[in-house]
């Protein structure tokens, strides 16, 4: 398969942060139950903190936002990382793909719900990032499961996939 048809998993996973920002900067739950409003705001703050740490290439700050037993799952076979060490290593690789402040995103769809100490979010975004003179753009689908532990929301599971595109003719 030509390289132009395959998005390397690091680029796809990089988009998770960008998709998270897209989800965090627009209303996540437009029809949310008012009783869950504080929880929704806490999740927006968590995603904002993730993006800030991600953009700053701050691995320790990123890891603090994940539950100790969290997992990340990517698009293809073998794209799974579990626990703080593997998630940290994955993020260190992502940081080599972009320059700080050179990311853009556009949220196309988002939805989610808070259920007690668990919550979920799905988002679809168009993402671009720049390294040097190279700009990379792709569609990104993100699913996040949050858990509230000791009164603090953390990311428990993060799944992402790049949107499929038709081959160029």
The pLDDT tens digits of the residues spanning 152-163 come to 899 999 998 886
- The pTM (predicted TM-score) of the whole model is 0.74
Name the residue with higher pLDDT: 19 or 74.
74
CATH class of 3-162: alpha beta
Specify the residue for token string 């929301």: 153
pLDDT per position as a tens digit, 99-134: 876 676 667 777 778 888 999 888 887 877 889 999
CA pair distance 64, 153, nearest whole angstrom:
11
The residue extents of the domains of the chain are: 3-162
């Amino acid at each position: 398969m030509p390289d132009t048809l395959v998005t390397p998993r690091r680029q796809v996973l990089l988009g998770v942060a960008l998709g998270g920002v897209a989800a965090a900067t627009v209303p996540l739950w437009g029809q949310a139950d008012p009783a869950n409003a504080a929880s929704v705001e806490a999740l927006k703050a968590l995603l904002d903190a993730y993006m800030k740490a991600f953009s700053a290439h701050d691995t320790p700050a990123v890891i603090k936002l994940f539950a100790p037993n969290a997992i990340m799952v990517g698009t293809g076979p073998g794209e799974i990382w579990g626990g703080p060490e593997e998630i940290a290593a994955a993020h260190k690789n992502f940081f080599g793909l972009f320059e700080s402040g050179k990311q853009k995103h556009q949220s196309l769809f988002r939805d989610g719900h808070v259920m007690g100490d668990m919550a979920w979010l799905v988002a679809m975004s168009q993402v671009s990032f720049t390294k040097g003179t190279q700009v990379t753009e792709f569609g990104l689908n993100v699913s996040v499961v949050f858990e509230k532990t000791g009164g603090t929301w953390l990311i428990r599971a993060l799944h992402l996939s790049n949107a499929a595109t038709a081959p160029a003719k």
